[in-house]
Amino acid sequence: MKKTEDRTRDLVARAILENGPATAVALSEKLKITPAGIRRHLDTLVEQGVLMAREPFQSSLDSRGRGRPSKVFVMTDTGREKFEHTYDDLAVSALRFMASKGNEALVKEFARNRAEEITKRAAQILANKKNLSEKSEALATFLSEEGYAANNHSQGIGEELCQNHCPIAHVAAQFPELCEAETQAFSDLLGTHVQRLATIAHGDGVCTTFIPNSTNLNKSGKRA
């Protein structure tokens, strides 16, 4: 019985890792587990430090004031470490060495180089996409293949790209230059200004990037 319980809890945790923060109701429906059962597993995962419950992230673009939303369960750093949290230890050591020598320019150069590699490989996938929605979806697919468990959806005046997992979250928490360069790579790939609303590296449950339609930008590249 215990092994079955463990496997089920693993499914619950992995559902959040791969699809992002979710409510107990949504998980119950997705995994076909009774509400009482899903809450029992969630309570255990929270006790183990794998998950944590928090208020759902809402951007100013999606504030509808429909009453108090249900709490969502998000993956903690400890939880991510139990799954495929793989990052290059040598790169981490190198970045720390650069930083310890006060050479921030090299850290930024490393971040830019990594972003350029992302841009180069992703550009082939986005090349034949006709509009922002198709490009955003293709970018989400590429990122998922890279281990970011990404998805995107329309927000009316643009697209929202969500990365539900970050293989380099611990590194990026120490070196935000990685997130900044990655954001610029997204902008270059999509051909428009993008705005990072949240990042796992900064303690959010998901990395969220808003991609406005070009018609909502003025000449300076800012939202009209």
Q: Which residues of the chain have pLDDT under 50?
A: 1, 60-61, 85-87, 216-224
Q: How high is the pLDDT of residue 224? A: 44
Helices 177-190/132-145 angle, 10° precision: 140
Q: Given the DSSP bridges, would you call strands 195-198 and 72-75 parallel, antiparallel or unpaired?
A: unpaired
Q: How high is the pLDDT of residue 217? A: 42
The token duo for 31 is: 């995994």
Domains of the chain: 2-81 (1.10.10.10), 89-216 (3.90.1520.10)
Do the Cβ atoms of 22 and 16 come closer than 8 Å?
A: yes
Do the Cβ atoms of 208 and 59 come closer than 8 Å?
A: yes
Q: How high is the pLDDT of residue 223? A: 45
Residues in the chain: 224
Q: How high is the pLDDT of residue 169? A: 81
Q: How high is the pLDDT of residue 68? A: 59
Q: How high is the pLDDT of residue 91? A: 66
Q: How high is the pLDDT of residue 220? A: 40
Q: What is the DSSP string of 84-121?
A: -----HHHHHHHHHHHHTT-HHHHHHHHHHHHHHHHHH
Q: How high is the pLDDT of residue 11? A: 87
- SS3 category, 32: coil
Q: How high is the pLDDT of residue 56? A: 65
Give the amino acid at 57.
F
Q: How high is the pLDDT of residue 41? A: 94
